[in-house]
Amino acid sequence: MRTGPSQEEVRRQNLGALLRYVHIHGPTSRAELTSELGLNRSTIGALTADLAGAGLVTEAVPRETGRAGRPSLVVRPESGRVYAYAFSIEVDQIRAARVGLGGEVLDLRADERPHGLAATDTVPLLAEFVKELHHSVPDDAVYVGSGVSVCRMMRRDDGLPRLTFATEQIAAPLSVQLATELGVERPVVAGNAADVAALAEHARGTAVGCDNVIYLHRDAGVDAGIIVGGRRLAGHAGQGGQVGHMVVQPKGRPCSCGSRGCWETEIGEHALLTAAGRDTSTRSAGALTVVDAASRGDASAQAAVRQVGDWLGFGVANLVNVFNPEMVIFGGTLRELYLAAAAQVRSRLNSMALPAARERVRLRTPQLGDDAALVGAAELAFEQLLADPLST
């Protein structure tokens, strides 16, 4: 009877752990890898030799050490050679990037997303971006896959974006369409924008070292990427994180989901524009003009920001009570709203959240800024390689 993993399985696990470490942390000495991974020097040497042989890392003597004696070799990810494509389909724009192992954005393309264009209809535009990006790809480069971040509600397991909340009509799998259009055999992995942004901030941004995080994202709607115990919380059917549809006003305004008084109806862009007496037909930039006007002393805009900011704090306090996170991050267009209404958010948190939960929670904006979803999409693409580096 088999009692444990084979030597080959252990070796592959260690290869993945080492590659993941340098992918996230960048150039790392063998000495640090020995300490951080809990492996002996000879094992680290053998693992780095295998990864170097596969063209995934390089080793070199550091330029300056400041110490006497033989310096420890530094292991670097092959960022210029091993790459993935990352895509971000947002309300107002679409973006594509070639991202190297180690998270370095090597090349980027972006354009406005035509109003009303379905997510699946952006596939040919993204494919054109890839043709442009491919011109700078070295001849010996290794493509490992693609990841795509999509705003609004979608199934996380297969990347089927829902067209509306009110119907079960579902478009063809975005990930399959994109893979077909690109003509690639490597997988295209799709993810919700809030989820992948949370993944990126947890790995590379402001939430590094935090294992319990809520990333709030407002684009077409209000979603959350939730990390519990260091792992993303997706829910049974992959629809976890739809925090914009928790009801805060049972007799409130109708919501696109068919319910009434959802949090989204109080903190969404439509709510901010309405409160400020602005044209609600404008897209996300319209909501940002309200925040900008408030900063310049516009009284109606300031009142709107305070009102919507108060509701933002109301929902955050409830989420803090439920999940007890170490950090709440305000992303998408919620970033500007939070910065303008931080006093209202903190006031609600202080009056509604349980002391044990609120006293330690940190409220932050994304360190990766608008690139969080794009960087997160790249992380999705690299996951298979990091899990089994020699399978490529």
pLDDT digits (tens, 9 = 90+) for 325-365: 999 999 998 999 999 999 999 999 999 999 999 999 999 99
Answering whether pTM is above 0.85, one says yes
Residues of the chain with pLDDT under 50: 154-157, 163-172
| Pairing outcome for strands 104-112 and 93-100 | antiparallel
DSSP per residue, 8-27:
HHHHHHHHHHHHHHHHHH-S
- CA separation, residue 204 to residues 26, 130, 197, 208, 379 (Å): 11, 25, 10, 6, 10
For residue 28, the SS3 value is strand
Residue among 387, 385, 388, 390 at smallest CA distance from 83: 385
Measure the CA–CA gap between 382 and 377, rounded to whole angstroms: 9
pLDDT digits (tens, 9 = 90+) for 134-166: 998 998 999 999 999 988 654 444 555 553 443
